[in-house]
Chains A and B, each alone.
Chain A
Amino acid sequence: MNPIDPRIHQALDGEIARGNLPADLRRAVERLDAAAELLAAAAPAAGLESRVMAGIRRPLPSRARRLVRWLSTPQTVMVRIRPAWSLALAAAVTLLALVPLGDRWGGPMLGEHEGIAQFVGRFPGARSVHVVGSFNDWRTGTIALEGPDHDGVWRGALVLPAGTYEYMFVVDGERWIPDHLAEREVADNFGRENSIVIVRAVRR
């Protein structure tokens, strides 16, 4: 497709006066204006207030029911990759896969079907960061992350039975924030978006 005269863009972006355009370019600008006006004018009335307020008043279903519904519903997983973080994450995962943590570092001895979930989040200015999830029945204030370091990064690790868990961070005891570095995120039909961590058994 051929690009159009740049003066059309400049006029539409308010960088030059439309009155100064040659007649053919002014017609093009007016055509696009008219198209936008048509799209803006044809706004359907949806009347969503009562529907939304009913959804807000309805209590959330239990975590178990939501998990069952999620497992039985086709899901789309969207992953946005930040190369630097992804490389660091890949390195960490590789390290975890190659090094038997419990034996060499004197860390926790892992059971046959247990693995380590690592949680890392950057929350500059936060006073406290906890992680909550399906592994602790979403109880707040029980699993604190350590930090912050000089970059505002908080970290923590948990030994968990191998499996898939949903979780979120709770910052300063009140802000629930998904982990944007999570392996996956899942949204249910009730407006929440939880992060997913998959714990694999270190010993197989």
Chain B
Amino acid sequence: MGVRGDPSDAEVVARVLGGDREVFGLVIRRYETGLVRFATRMLGSSDAAADAVAESFVRAYRHLASCRDPARLRTWLYRIVANRCKSHLARRPIADVPLDDAPPVADPADSHGALERAEQLALVERALAQLSPEKREAFVLKHVEGLSYQEMAAVTGERIPTLKMRVHRAREALLHVLEDHA
């Protein structure tokens, strides 16, 4: 059992595979926020991200029996979403990475701090969108989703030195943009 009696991922997977289809809702509630955030950062659009994650959950359900290590369900889900995002990005022109909210619209009710924060977010989002999908993926998995390099390797299928290099290059690109606007 997990915290406060919540079933662990392995238990949930076993119950779904045993025929209790509705328990899969627990998987969705548990991981939806992180997966949508990751897909949004990859695709630059919350609508496209929601579609990608919804399709990924359906795919995960249909292929749940092929999840080799149910205790690492989270990593497996990130892998499915990452692949879905790559397919999505491959289908559209390279320069077409939309941003949902750039630049932010000033609301009179906003405090100065909130507005400044929104502008800063727009700047970071624009810089992120300029990275290659591979570097963007590496930076978001590492610094936004908080995955270890080992987990990132499981998600992406890449070697750890390759991922470290991508994270380093992404940091350099972002830092240059941020310093230019400091």
Which A positions have Cβ atoms within 8 angstroms of B? Answer: 1-4, 8-9, 12-13, 28, 31-32, 34-36, 38-40, 42-46, 48-49, 51-53, 55-57, 74, 76, 78, 174-177, 187, 189-193
* Contact of B66 (CB < 8 Å), options: A43, A49, A176: A176
* Contact of B87 (CB < 8 Å), options: A1, A42, A74, A78: A78
Residues from chain A with Cβ under 8 Å of B128 in the complex:
39
A-B contact pairs, 28 of them (CB 8 A): A1-B173, A1-B176, A2-B172, A4-B175, A13-B164, A32-B174, A35-B120, A35-B143, A36-B139, A36-B143, A36-B144, A39-B41, A39-B128, A40-B145, A43-B37, A44-B37, A46-B36, A46-B46, A49-B29, A53-B24, A53-B28, A56-B24, A78-B90, A187-B87, A190-B62, A191-B58, A191-B62, A191-B63
Residues from chain A with Cβ under 8 Å of B41 in the complex:
39
Residues from chain A with Cβ under 8 Å of B144 in the complex:
36, 39-40
CA separation between A36 and B120, bound complex, in Å?
A: 11
**Residue B159 lies at the interface, judged by CB distance under 8 Å to chain A:** no
* Contact of B54 (CB < 8 Å), options: A39, A40, A55: A55
Given contacts A4-B172, A31-B182, A190-B62, 17 further A-B contacts (CB under 8 A): A32-B171, A38-B117, A39-B37, A39-B124, A46-B36, A46-B46, A48-B36, A48-B53, A53-B22, A55-B58, A56-B21, A56-B58, A74-B91, A78-B86, A78-B90, A175-B65, A176-B65
CA separation between A177 and B32, bound complex, in Å?
A: 25
Known pairs A39-B144, A49-B29; A44 contacts B36 (CB<8 A): yes
CA separation between A55 and B58, bound complex, in Å?
A: 7
Residues from chain B with Cβ under 8 Å of A13 in the complex:
164
Q: Are A48 and B28 in contact (CB under 8 A)?
A: yes
Q: Are B174 and A177 in contact (CB under 8 A)?
A: no
* Contact of A76 (CB < 8 Å), options: B32, B91, B167, B168: B91
3 tightest Cβ-Cβ pairs between the two chains A and B: A191-B59, A36-B143, A191-B58
Known pairs A39-B41, A52-B58, A76-B91; A177 contacts B24 (CB<8 A): no
Q: Are B87 and A39 in contact (CB under 8 A)?
A: no
Q: Are A189 and B54 in contact (CB under 8 A)?
A: no
Known pairs A32-B175, A38-B117; A193 contacts B24 (CB<8 A): no
Min CB distance, A105 to chain B, in Å?
36
CA separation between A88 and B65, bound complex, in Å?
A: 30
Which B positions have Cβ atoms within 8 angstroms of A? Answer: 21-22, 24-25, 28-29, 32-34, 36-37, 40-41, 46, 49-50, 53-63, 65-66, 86-87, 90-91, 117, 120-121, 124-125, 127-128, 139-140, 143-145, 164, 167-168, 171-176, 178-179, 182
Most chain B CB inside 10 Å of its own CB: which residue of A34, A35, A189 = A35
Min CB distance, A102 to chain B, in Å?
37
Q: Are B29 and A46 in contact (CB under 8 A)?
A: no
Q: Are B175 and A49 in contact (CB under 8 A)?
A: no
Residues from chain A with Cβ under 8 Å of B173 in the complex:
1
Residues from chain B with Cβ under 8 Å of A45 in the complex:
33
Residues from chain B with Cβ under 8 Å of A28 in the complex:
175, 179
Residue of A nearest to B182 (CB): A31
Q: Are B121 and A38 in contact (CB under 8 A)?
A: yes
Q: Are A35 and B124 in contact (CB under 8 A)?
A: yes
CA separation between A124 and B171, bound complex, in Å?
A: 40
Residues from chain B with Cβ under 8 Å of A56 in the complex:
21, 24, 58, 61
Q: Are B124 and A191 in contact (CB under 8 A)?
A: no
Known pairs A46-B36, A48-B50, A176-B66; A1 contacts B59 (CB<8 A): no
